[in-house]
Amino acid sequence: MTELPFYEPSGNEISLFEHAFQQRLPLLIKGPTGCGKTRFVSHMAARLKLPLYTVACHDDLTAADLVGRHLISDSGTYWSDGPLTRAVREGGICYLDEVVEARKDTTVVLHPLADDRRILPIDRTGETLEAPANFMLVVSYNPGYQNLMKGLKPSTRQRFVSMRFDFPGAEREISILIGETGCDADLAKRLVGIGKAFRALKDRDLEEVASTRLLVYAATLIKSGFDVTAACRAALVESLTDDEETVEALMEIVNATFGR
C-alpha cells in the first residue's frame, strides 16, 4: 500500500474536500505561500487514489498550455492534450497552483468545467469533453498578493467551493516538523519559535513571512548534521530577504533562540 504524503489536519478540510469530490464540486484553496496548500492536495489525491495533474501558473500561461495544441512531427501534425484535458479525459484531480498568476483569458477556459455543465470545449479539435465522475478541478492562490491587476473575477470565484488556509498554530506546526523530518521535539519547538518571531516583525520590509515549508527545510538541514545557525540562515533568513540589515536582525533572533 502506497504511503500517503504526510499531512497534519487543522479542521474539517479533509471532510470538505471529500464531500466536494463526491458531489462533483470544484474547490478553491486560498492561503499564504508555504502554508501547506499543495501538500494538502497531494495528500487528498493519494487518499482518494486519483491521478494528480499539477500546473504551476505563471504570467505566460496560456489556455493552450492547459487544453493542448497541435504539434508537428516527422509524420505530420498531431494533437497533444494539455494537463487539464488529460485530467478530463482520464479522470483525476487537475490542480492549478497560484491560479491568479495565469493570464486572465486562461481562467475563462475553466468556467464550463467549474459549473453544473462540467464540460471542456476544445475549439481546435471540435470536441466537447464531459468530465467523468472521478474528475475534480482544484485551484489555489495567495490572497496576500491580490491587487487590482491580479485577482479572480467574481464570475470565476463564485463557481468554486472555497476554503481558507493559514499558518498552523504552534503545537500543530511542531507536530508537522516532527512528522516531516523526524527531528526531535526541542528542535521543532525552537524553529517554530523563530518562525513566530519572524512573523511578528512589524518594522522590517519582508515581502513574505517565514513559511512552514521553510521551517521544514531548516529542520531537514539540521537533522542531516548541518550547523544549526548556518541552516537557519540558509533556509530561513536568506530566503526571506536580500537586505543586509534585515539579515542581521533576523540572525539575532536565531542566535538568541539557540544561545549563540
What confidence category does residue 260 fall into, taking pLDDT thresholds of 50, 70 and 90? low
Write down the number of H helices and E strands in the chain. 12, 9
Residue-wise over 162-193: b if at least 16 C-beta within 10 A, else e? Answer: ebebebbeeeebbbbbbebbebeeebbbbbbb
15-23: average pLDDT: 98
137 is written with which cell numbers? 478541478
Please state which of the ranges 24-38, 50-64, 199-213 shows the lowest mean pLDDT. Answer: 199-213
The gap from C-alpha 158 to its chain's centroid, in whole angstroms, comes to: 20
Q: Give the pLDDT confidence score for residue 148 in this predicted structure.
A: 43
What are the tens digits of pLDDT across the range 71-89? 998 889 999 999 999 999 9
Nearest CA among 116, 112, 61, 111 for reference residue 83: 61
What are the tens digits of pLDDT across the range 196-207? 999 988 666 677
Asked whether the predicted pLDDT for residue 147 surpasses 70, the reply is no
Q: Give the pLDDT confidence score for residue 150 in this predicted structure.
A: 64
The gap from C-alpha 139 to its chain's centroid, in whole angstroms, comes to: 9
What are the tens digits of pLDDT across the range 29-47? 999 888 999 999 999 999 9
Dist. CA 172–CA 186, nearest whole Å: 14
Q: Give the pLDDT confidence score for residue 125 in this predicted structure.
A: 92
42 is written with which cell numbers? 497531494
Dist. CA 158–CA 102, nearest whole Å: 18
β-pairing, 135-141 vs 161-164, is unpaired
**Is the pLDDT higher at 147 or at 123?**
123
Please state which of the ranges 30-39, 100-109, 186-195, 250-259 shows the lowest mean pLDDT. Answer: 100-109
**Contact (Cβ atoms closer than 8 angstroms) between residue 128 and residue 85:** no
Dist. CA 35–CA 206, nearest whole Å: 17
**Contact (Cβ atoms closer than 8 angstroms) between residue 141 and residue 100:** yes
Q: Give the pLDDT confidence score for residue 146 in this predicted structure.
A: 53
Dist. CA 18–CA 85, nearest whole Å: 22
Q: Give the pLDDT confidence score for residue 95 in this predicted structure.
A: 98
**Contact (Cβ atoms closer than 8 angstroms) between residue 121 and residue 79:** no
